[in-house]
Amino acid sequence: MNMRSAGVMLAIGLLLAGGPAALAQTATPAAPTPAAAPTPLPPADYASPANWVCFPGAKPNACDIDLSTTVVEADGTMTVEPFKADAKAPIDCFYVYPTVSTDPGVLANLAVEPAEQQVVKQQFARFAASCRLYAPVYRQFTLTALAAMMSGHPLPMPGGMRPAITYTDVKDAWDYYLAHENHGRGVVLIGHSQGSGLLTQLIAKEIDGKPVQARIVSAILMGTSLSVPAGADVGGDFKSMPLCHGASQLGCVIAYASFRETSPPPENSRFGRPRTPGPNMVAACVNPASLGGGDGPLHSYLAVGSDSIAPGGQAPKPWVEGKTVTTPFVSVPGMLTARCVATPGFNYLSIHINPNPGGARTSELRGDVIVGGQILKDWGLHLIDANLAMGDLVDIVRQEGAAWTARGK
């Protein structure tokens, strides 16, 4: 299994697919050498478009890609849905991507590599239908380092701890965007996994309760466990940014981590628990398919072909037997429904696959992390958190932009 065939979503499957032996082989550090004082890294130059994966008007721009979609109905009927960006979108979107880098060592470099290009294709580029797109490159904690840590052989950390440069880069990119690109426009913050964690820090330290909060249209934090008091919308990780309950509500937060209805979070789950432990704290769950609560049909955009999620090297079944999908994405109306579920110790987005008796379209959903042929249930559907609700999220951002404009922001 290679980076492209996994779609490079979170991309954990890239190294996990080989199983524990592959993890150990990848992660085993070289013989120890005398420790030396870490050399401070220079700040990233975000005035250069080369340090952005997506930036308006930049060439190349990883968000300027083919996002055409085959709509596959339950009866097997297929139609092609073209994609068009909104050149006059009234608001911006600022995205921090998840753990995707396979660079050696603890820190990624600042190059826009296939991993970064692929993840924005899956998780961010489609938002161009609703907002202008900004996605900085940052020196993230790598997939290599994550695999090493999970194998029990963590790589040496600069300075003996997880490097602060990951957050510093994101803050520097945000500061550059505010100073040179924002011009008073509303902005949606979007992240997944490591990206959501970094944005949670950014909001808590630089935005929550400060004047710049007035420019925040919303925050979409996927594949994370944002802390809120049980039964409340605010008061945990954020002191003044509440959870969203409607698409016209501004300055609010959508946060969730997804699991199959048939495979809820196990006791060792990585998601669904609050980030900040404490009495009465729970992980926030906001259903993008039904912001007001309850069940909602998901408007998913799932990758196909060479971009499909197939952890463990298992090829997905055709969506319709005997028919070929030629677009990079499929949409599957009526196939998936989501609702937020609270169980003792967990809050999560539960994904239900609706039966299709006698239908021509497959009901198989790929997206689990698989090691040695075994599904790692503690990860849930983390690989496709964004794909599952992409259509809903893009539409929410479109409505938020209209609300922002109507309120004369």
Give residue-wise pLDDT tens across range 157-177. Answer: 765 545 689 999 999 999 999
- Compute the average pLDDT of residues 172-198: 98
Between CA 185 and CA 169 the distance in angstroms is 22
Using one digit for the tens of pLDDT, what is the confidence trace for 334-367? 999 999 999 998 999 999 999 999 999 999 999 9
Does residue 53 belong to any structural domain of this protein? yes
Tell me, what's the pLDDT at 12?
A: 42
Tell me, what's the pLDDT at 198?
A: 97
Does residue 190 belong to any structural domain of this protein? yes
Tell me, what's the pLDDT at 338?
A: 98
- Please indicate whether residue 262 or residue 345 has the higher confidence score (pLDDT): 262
Tell me, what's the pLDDT at 162?
A: 56
Question: Is 90 exceeded by the pLDDT of residue 19?
Answer: no
Does residue 159 belong to any structural domain of this protein? yes
Counted domains in the chain: 1
Tell me, what's the pLDDT at 24?
A: 29
Does residue 333 belong to any structural domain of this protein? no
Question: Is 50 exceeded by the pLDDT of residue 185?
Answer: yes
For 216, the domain range is 45-69+85-258+265-294+382-406
Contacts of 77 (CB under 8 A, 6+ apart): none
Does residue 316 belong to any structural domain of this protein? no
Tell me, what's the pLDDT at 163?
A: 67
Question: Is 70 exceeded by the pLDDT of residue 31?
Answer: no
Domain containing residue 170: CATH number: 3.40.50
Question: Is 60 exceeded by the pLDDT of residue 37?
Answer: no
- HSE at residue 398, side-chain half, CA atoms within 13 A, is 14
Does residue 117 belong to any structural domain of this protein? yes
pLDDT tier for residue 4 given thresholds of 50, 70 and 90 = very low
Task: Say if CB 131 and CB 95 are below 8 A apart.
Answer: no
Tell me, what's the pLDDT at 146?
A: 86
**Percentage of the chain exceeding pLDDT 90:** 76
Does residue 209 belong to any structural domain of this protein? yes
Using one digit for the tens of pLDDT, what is the confidence trace for 303-338? 986 565 544 445 678 999 999 999 999 999 999 999
pLDDT tier for residue 1 given thresholds of 50, 70 and 90 = very low
pTM of the model: 0.90
Using one digit for the tens of pLDDT, what is the confidence trace for 114-123? 999 999 999 9
Tell me, what's the pLDDT at 270?
A: 87
CA dihedral 130, 386, 192, 374 (to 10 degrees): -170
Classify burial at 109, counting beta carbons within 10 Å of its beta carbon; exposed 0-12, middle 13-18, buried 19 or more.
middle
Does residue 303 belong to any structural domain of this protein? no
Task: Say if CB 301 and CB 255 are below 8 A apart.
Answer: no
